[in-house]
A and B are shown apart, each in its own frame.
Chain A
Amino acid sequence: MDDIILETRNLTKHYGGVHALQGANFVLRKGEHVAIMGDNGAGKSTFVRQITGVEQRTRGEIIFNGSPVNFAGPLDAREAGIETVFQTLALADHLDVSDNLFLGRERIRFRLGPFSILDYRAMREATLEALQRTGVKIPNIHNTIERMSGGQRQCVAIARTATFHSKLTIMDEPTAALGVQETAQVEAIIRTLKEQGEPLILISHNMRQVFDLVDRIVVFRRGRICANLRKEETDGQDVVAYITGAKTQPEYEDAA
């Protein structure tokens, strides 16, 4: 089908004898926002690490944007259009916002190999534009990252993924360490991505957030997918039942 942006078939990862991820079949369509939920150690992060090439899967297939992919590392995934906001933010603390946004893909005024001259002005303007588009509010883009709050840092990391028109954004617990206001700010950005039709995989423990933001919830339990729920057809208690193992959808019965 044309509108499938990401599909995994029988995706499996073993760490030695530990079966961290078992036969995950997952589909994400264009413009769709999907939450991945589950207890600690249920396989959520393992699942993401296989997709983004941080680790190499034991078995299974990943089909991204219509063709099977084998990412050797996170860079390959990024070049293919998968941007990830990791729990540990990949930001350079001593550089400012636009430096970080454009790190590794700087705008150039004059090409001279490694000594190419930076076009600060173009990067600054593109940064302001990107921040506006994503609704990120940062008091002064000339502040270095080390002078920013956790929420602002998270916003910069997200703005980076949004700046370069990625085909898929993955966020691994983006608000886990944030306060109420900062969380609201990050959620506003996620809504903006939704309006712009950018597909998203959100890993979160926050039930309220998940129900606010996404279309579909996929529940992982003990390394397997145990439920695939449309938001309208479920509620918080139902999801908790799946997370804890009280319920399992019939089509995933063998996972129990």
Chain B
Amino acid sequence: MSDRAHGIGGLKYDPRQKAKPQELNVLIALVLIVAAFELLGRLLYGDSFLFNTRPNVDAIFNWARLNIIILQVSIVGIIAIGVTQVIISGGIDLSSGSVVGATAMIVMSFAQTALVNGNPNPKAIFGDWAMDLPVLVPILVGLGCGLLAGAVNGVLIAYTRIPPFIATLGMMVSARGLARWWSNGQPVSFPTDSFAALGKGMMPVVYFILLAILFHLILRHTVYGKHTYAIGSNEDAARMSGINVARHKVIVYALAGMLAALAAIVLCSKNLTAQAGMGVMYELDAIAMSVIGGVSLAGGRGSIIGTVLGALIFGVIISGFTFLKLDAYYQEMVKGAIIVGAVVLDQWRQRRGAASP
């Protein structure tokens, strides 16, 4: 049986008729933004944004800049992967930034080394028993924290029926409080070498890419992914179809919490310290990456590929502003405008989608 020429009347399956992927628009936007910076750079400073201009380096592209672009978004990008599936399910997660802060503090407390330059660790949180533990211990502790925070979010949302906005707002405030209380606001520092190796160099990028591939496959090819879209698209229909919506939501938020925890592990390993203020505003950056990448705040629509592209747009804009020697203040103002613009675009897309025959 051939795939085409199937069926009676107009009934057929034609693989070429698959709807044009929405990610294409995001990709075009990314290319246009890069081109705009390239053009502005050439006009204003006679310098290239994308290409290598230093004669002593043998490369076509400016790899140093490209590496920074992706490195600076990959940790928030890991959070954005979790946030994307939450938004697709019709929810929102405001707690991820604070979960990063709290998890970083707790993780670092289990990753400390006993001796710093021959002296006892001045920032030690626990006694000798918690010093120089195998690197797996802080990782598992961290993932446990994220899982717990996410599961609490999920249970609140699924079983008390309070809006996700409120439940995760509560977690956002509480987790930040926990992060400050943990060591009375003091930073936790001096990890073991093996823990410090986790976030070295371009390692965050590697994790980001691997997790993006994993969650792309999960959302596209597993029952979990299909149900996540279905719940975000029409929760009543999902319930009528026999999906255990409450249980599913708990898993969605628990996974988002675990991804925030992974981001925390990578972040405090990279910085070699954990501070209570880590991850402030990360939740909004993660939401922005998702929305820029075409994830609909109304639920049911979006993809990990879109979010990755959204993260790249985010990184390009930040780098581009630095490249054009514009103040950091402008960056934030423009960032805000871009987020609002992306949501306006999403609304417009929804209206158009609903009106078409």
Contact = CB atoms under 8 A, between A and B. Distances in A.
Contacts of B6: 128
A247 B238 CA distance: 44
A114 B228 CA distance: 11
A142 B17 contact: yes
B224 A114 contact: yes
Contacts of A95: 226, 229-230, 233
B353 interface: yes
A212 B9 CA distance: 23
A99 interface: yes
Contacts of B251: 114
Interface stretch (A18-26, A103-111, A230-238): A103-111
B223 A116 contact: yes
A253 interface: no
A103 B242 CA distance: 8
B11 A92 contact: no
B221 A104 contact: no
24 contacts: A90-B236, A92-B230, A92-B234, A93-B233, A94-B229, A94-B300, A95-B229, A95-B233, A104-B238, A104-B243, A108-B223, A114-B251, A115-B224, A117-B222, A118-B223, A128-B13, A131-B7, A132-B11, A137-B8, A137-B11, A140-B17, A142-B13, A144-B19, A147-B357
B151 to A, nearest CB: 14
A128 B7 contact: yes
Contacts of A91: 234, 237
Interface string B335-357: 00000000000000000011011
A90 B240 contact: yes
A92 B233 CA distance: 5
A124 B234 CA distance: 21
A28 to B, nearest CB: 23
B344 to A, nearest CB: 19
Contacts of B234: 90-93
B19 A116 contact: no
A89 B10 CA distance: 23
Given A90-B236, A92-B300, A146-B353, A99 B226 contact: yes
B238 A140 contact: no
Contacts of A141: 11, 13
B241 to A, nearest CB: 3
A114 to B, nearest CB: 4
B301 interface: yes
A143 B230 CA distance: 15
B14 interface: yes
A78 interface: yes
Given A92-B237, A94-B232, A104-B242, A116 B10 contact: no
Interface residues of A, number: 42
Contacts of B325: none
Given A103-B237, A103-B241, A104-B243, A128 B19 contact: no
B79 to A, nearest CB: 21
A138 interface: yes
A131 B11 CA distance: 8
A53 B83 CA distance: 36
Contact of A118 (B7, B12, B226): B226
A112 interface: yes
B218 interface: yes
A176 interface: no
Nearest to A89: B237
A139 interface: yes
Contacts of B223: 106, 108, 114-116, 118
Contacts of A147: 19, 353, 356-357
A136 B11 contact: yes
A105 B237 CA distance: 13
A135 interface: yes
B300 A142 contact: no
B222 A118 contact: yes
Nearest to B300: A94
B248 to A, nearest CB: 8
Given A95-B230, A114-B224, A146-B356, 19 more contacts: A75-B240, A79-B242, A91-B234, A92-B238, A95-B233, A103-B238, A112-B222, A114-B248, A115-B218, A116-B223, A120-B221, A128-B11, A137-B11, A139-B11, A140-B12, A140-B17, A142-B14, A143-B19, A144-B19
A175 B12 CA distance: 24
